[in-house]
């Protein structure tokens, strides 16, 4: 008997995760069973999966390597399934991907990802059925022809209805999330910058924004369902320029103010922002208690010379000023950042400036990455390239700085009462005093605080994912932070 399972794997940013959740929602509404658990070597073979979808990332070469590895695993673990590859990597390197297994892989370019919303009804109605009496039940040719036909139709209508085409970017939306306790809304896509190291603007195109009233409609839907907070996602939220029905263009500060005024209790979390757009106008809105005290800045370097080579539209002082403004707007907010080490030409003096910036700003966390040359970018052929050993040494310094800062940040909140949202429950086997596991288990609930501290709380009480609770942090868990665990502190519930 043919199966009824659609499997999804997602790589990369929260934006990709949102879009996958939106696609899974459409399949679920059409009667399919959706599996969103990551495919690994331990995943059992499943002949009931009829379509495997992987939403890929192209931000680093390692992300692409991981995508190819998972595609091969999908081919092995889901032998009756076609593998549909979408996302940024699929947008830029079709041939490299299809070469893995041309007879079972179909490409859906990332900029046309919304076509996923049209596929479930056609599978349900047998439009893509294979004529084969055994083997894969879906025809690769029929599915690929359907994708190509819709892509052609989109291109033909591009000049006729630009508004509808922009809305396509926001089709994959869901108010019900399978893998996240905190719902999110994609309000922006694409990027107008052309950073010399980045392929994302090549893969996702120019910036587009969801209309203001449409954002409000989706936020109100979540609020009506009882959601305590919503996370805004986009490639570059700083470039949000949504149109209101009156014709007025709202920037992000305008949008946030409008949403606060027209909703009741839901809180708002900002996923990422460029430092030059953190200004007094925005911070006047961030003061609201309904804006969570968590901010992530896209920084990349503390050297003005390197920032110029990266074609970043700000300098190191802009970052320092942004951090100061955020700390005025919010009491002790969690502020994290991205840093790239080993950009072509980055000298020891350049990296020392990055170290000075990180020390002065006291980021609560630093996402540090070694520079990865990306095909099609200006930095791909820049000289001199920095040896991998030096890149790794610089990443190590940033990592140690980040560990120290996060532990210190968490310890500042020790014994304070914080609002949090429950994420999941789990049971962990306990250890004897000599470190050996025994047969006893402790039940835990994981929570995320308003300032984005992930807290593990021992309890036998049952909680649903997404419940609003009050907690008290007892201690930072440095070893777990160092291991990259989703748990960073231990705490207790406040009744």
Q: Which two tokens stand for residue 220?
A: 């109100």
pLDDT of the residue at 486: 85
Quick one: tokens of 110? 């990332």
pTM here is: 0.90
Helix axes 348-361, 388-412, angle to 10 degrees: 10
Q: What per-residue confidence (pLDDT) applies to 162?
A: 57
Asked, as a colleague might, if the bond just before 384 is cis with ω within 30 of 0, I would say yes
- Whole-number average pLDDT of the chain: 92
Q: Would you report the helix, strand and coil content of the chain in percent, each value rounded to 5?
A: 40, 25, 35
Window from 17-26, 428-437, 439-448 with minimum mean pLDDT? 428-437
| pLDDT tens-digit readout, 254-265 | 999 999 999 999
Of 298-307, 462-471, 486-495, minimum mean pLDDT range: 462-471
Query: Angle CA(50)–CA(53)–CA(56) in degrees, nearest 5?
Result: 165
What pLDDT shows up at residue 166?
A: 67
pLDDT band at 439 (very low <50, low <70, confident <90, very high): low
Q: Residue 279 phi/psi, 5° resolution? A: -125, 180
How many Cβ atoms are within 10 Å of 39's Cβ, its own excluded? 23
The tokens describing 99, both together, are: 């070469």
CA-wise closest residue to 187 among 292, 313, 287, 271: 271
pLDDT tens column, 289-329 = 999 999 999 999 999 999 999 999 999 999 999 999 999 99
pLDDT per position as a tens digit, 26-80: 999 999 999 999 999 999 999 999 999 999 999 989 999 999 999 999 999 999 9
From residue 203, give the alpha-carbon distance in Å to each of 110, 112, 299.
7, 11, 21
Q: Which residue has the tokens 């495919």?
A: 39
| Residues 339/366, Cβ–Cβ less than 8 Å | yes
Range 274-284 burial, b when 16+ CB lie within 10 A, else e: bbebbeeebbe
What residues have CB less than 8 Å from 9, skipping those under 6 apart? 38, 39, 52, 53, 54, 55, 70, 74
Please answer whether residues 334 and 413 qualify as being in contact, where contact means their C-beta atoms are separated by less than 8 angstroms: no
Strand-pair partners of 476 = 489
Residue 473 has pLDDT above 70, yes or no: yes
Give tens-digit pLDDT for 392-427.
999 999 999 999 999 999 999 998 899 998 887 766
**CA separation for the pair 426, 432 (Å, rounded):** 20
CA 301, CA 358: separation in Å to the nearest integer?
A: 9
pLDDT of 440 above 90: no
* DSSP H or E stretch at residue 357: helix 348-361
pLDDT at residue 429 greater than cutoff 80? no
Question: Closest by alpha carbon to 124, among 241, 262, 28, 17?
Answer: 28
Q: Residue 130: which of 153, 108, 152, 103 has the closest Cα?
A: 103
> What is the CA 265 to chain-centroid distance, rounded?
25
Is 419 exposed, middle or buried, given 0-12, 13-18 or 19+ CB atoms closer than 10 A?
Answer: middle
At 432, the pLDDT band (50, 70, 90 cuts) reads low
Question: Within 13 Å and on the Cβ side, how many CA atoms surround 377?
Answer: 28
Q: Distance (Å, rounded) from C-alpha 482 to C-alpha 247?
A: 49
Q: Looking at the predicted structure, is the pLDDT value of residue 159 above 60?
A: no
Q: What are the tokens at 175?
A: 């108010």
CA 469 to each of CA 419, 449, 460: distance values in angstroms, whole numbers, following the listed order: 6, 9, 15
Q: Which bin fits 388, alpha (ψ -120 to 50), beta or left (φ > 0)?
A: alpha
Q: Is residue 418 a contact partner of residue 470, using CB atoms and an 8 Å limit?
A: yes
Whether 179 shows a pLDDT value over 70: the answer reads: no
Helix (H) or strand (E) holding 64: helix 61-77
> Containing H/E element for 224?
helix 212-224
Length, in residues, of the chain: 495
pLDDT above 90: residue 438: no
pLDDT of 135 above 80: no
Structure tokens at 454: 């992930």
CA distances from 120 to 23, 46, 81, 113, 228 (A): 9, 20, 15, 13, 31
Pure H helices in 240-315: 252-261, 280-286, 304-310
| Angle made by CA atoms 359, 481, 453, in degrees to the nearest 5 | 80
Residue 133 confidence (pLDDT) above 60? no
> What are the tokens at 42?
């331990």
Backbone angles phi, psi at 6, to 5 degrees: -110, 125
* Residue 189 CB neighbours (<10 A): 26
Alpha carbons within 13 angstroms on the beta-carbon side of residue 19 total 33
CA distances from 77 to 44, 47, 83, 133 (A): 6, 8, 11, 21
Q: Pairing relation of β-strands 294-300 and 242-243?
A: unpaired
Express as a percent the part of the chain with pLDDT over 90. Answer: 81
Choice among 58-72, 102-116, 157-171, 191-205 with the minimum mean pLDDT: 157-171
**212 contacts: CB under 8 Å, gap ≥ 6:** 242, 243, 244, 245, 250, 255, 258
**What is the reported pLDDT for 415?**
85
Retrieve residue 230's tokens. Answer: 């919503």
């Amino acid at each position: 008997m043919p199966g009824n399972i659609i499997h999804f794997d997602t790589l990369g940013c929260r934006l990709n995760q949102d879009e996958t959740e939106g696609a899974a929602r459409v399949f679920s509404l059409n009667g399919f069973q959706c599996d969103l658990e990551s495919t690994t070597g331990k995943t059992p073979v499943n002949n009931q999966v009829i379509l495997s979808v992987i939403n890929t990332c192209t931000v680093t070469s390692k992300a692409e390597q991981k995508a190819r590895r998972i595609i091969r695993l999908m081919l092995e673990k889901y032998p009756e399934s076609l593998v549909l590859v979408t996302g940024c990597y699929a947008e830029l390197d079709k041939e490299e991907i299809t070469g893995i297994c041309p007879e079972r892989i179909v490409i859906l370019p990332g900029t046309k990802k919304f076509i996923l919303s049209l596929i479930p009804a056609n599978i349900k109605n047998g439009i893509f059925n294979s004529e084969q009496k055994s083997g894969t039940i879906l025809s690769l040719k029929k599915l690929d022809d359907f994708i190509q036909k819709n892509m052609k139709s989109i291109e033909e209508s591009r000049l006729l209805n630009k508004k509808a085409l922009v809305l396509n970017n926001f089709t994959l939306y869901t108010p019900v999330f399978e893998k996240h306790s905190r719902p999110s809304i994609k309000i922006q896509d694409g990027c107008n910058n052309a950073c010399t190291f980045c392929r994302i603007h090549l893969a996702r195109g120019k910036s587009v924004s969801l209309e203001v009233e449409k954002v409000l409609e989706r936020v109100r839907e979540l609020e009506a369902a009882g959601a305590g907070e919503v996370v805004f996602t986009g490639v570059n939220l700083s470039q949000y320029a949504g149109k209101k029905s009156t014709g007025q263009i709202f920037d992000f500060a305008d949008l946030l103010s409008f949403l606060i005024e027209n909703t009741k209790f839901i809180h708002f979390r900002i996923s990422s922002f460029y430092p030059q757009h953190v200004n007094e106008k925005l911070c006047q809105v961030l003061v609201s208690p309904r804006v969570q005290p968590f901010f992530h800045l896209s920084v990349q370097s503390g050297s003005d010379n390197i920032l110029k080579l990266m074609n970043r539209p700000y300098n190191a002082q802009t970052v320092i000023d942004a951090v100061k403004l955020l700390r005025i707007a919010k009491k002790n907010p969690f502020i994290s950042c991205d840093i790239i080490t080993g950009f072509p030409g980055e000298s020891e003096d350049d990296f020392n400036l990055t170290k000075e910036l990180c020390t002065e700003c006291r980021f609560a966390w630093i996402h540090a990455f070694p520079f990865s040359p990306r095909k099609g970018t200006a930095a791909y052929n820049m000289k001199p390239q920095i040896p991998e050993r030096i890149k790794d040494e610089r990443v190590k310094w940033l990592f140690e700085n980040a560990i120290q800062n996060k532990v210190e940040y968490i310890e500042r909140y020790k014994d304070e009462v914080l609002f949090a949202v429950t994420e999941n429950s789990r049971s962990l086997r306990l250890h004897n005093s000599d470190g050996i596991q025994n047969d006893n288990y402790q039940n835990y609930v994981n929570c995320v605080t308003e300032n984005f501290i992930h807290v593990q709380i021992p309890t036998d009480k049952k909680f649903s994912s997404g419940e609003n609770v009050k907690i008290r942090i007892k201690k930072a868990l440095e070893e777990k932070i160092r291991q990259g665990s989703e748990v960073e502190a231990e705490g207790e519930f406040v009744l």
